[in-house]
Amino acid sequence: NAGVTQTPKFQVLKTGQSMTLQCAQDMNHEYMSWYRQDPGMGLRLIHYSVGAGITDQGEVPNGYNVSRSTTEDFPLRLLSAAPSQTSVYFCASSYSLGAGTVIYEQYFGPGTRLTVT
């Protein structure tokens, strides 16, 4: 298994540009999520999905969109990049017992380092 894969690894955008960060997992996990990691801030949840066709907002969703058309893929879209979105982005997946129940151990991808100038 490749686990959780993310592309690209690095990206530089200009303010106002849009882009999509790709995330895929081959473990048949129902639950997938996107986090951003800023220095001294730990990991903050952007959006998550408990299954194909279902997405929901996390702690810091503004400026980001997601979709979940398949179990395997969970892309994150930046609609109009801003310098405040400079961060490292991690995708993660896990088994779960369904919406409203415990999320188990999450497997993380290697991250995408995004700089917005």
- Structure-token pair, residue 71: 């179990």
111 Cβ contact partners less than 8 Å away, ≥ 6 residues apart: 6, 9, 37, 88, 89, 90
- Residue 95 touching another protein (CB under 8 A): no
Q: How far is CA 36 from CA 69, 75, 92, 97, in A?
A: 22, 14, 11, 25
Q: How far is the CB of 16 from another protein (least distance, A)?
A: 27
The contact mask relative to another protein for 51-70 (x = CB under 8 A, - = no) is -----x-xx-----------
The single residue among 23, 85, 111, 114 that binds another protein, judged by CB under 8 A, is 111
Residue 34 · residue 59 · CB < 8 Å:
no
Least distance between another protein and beta carbon 22 (Å)? 15
Binding to another protein (CB under 8 A) within 1-30 occurs at 4
Question: With contact defined as beta carbons under 8 Å apart, do 64 and 45 qualify?
Answer: no
Q: Which is nearer to another protein, 29 or 111 (CB)?
A: 111
Looking at the Cβ atoms of 6 and 71, the one nearer to another protein is 6
> By C-beta, is 12 or 99 nearer to another protein?
99
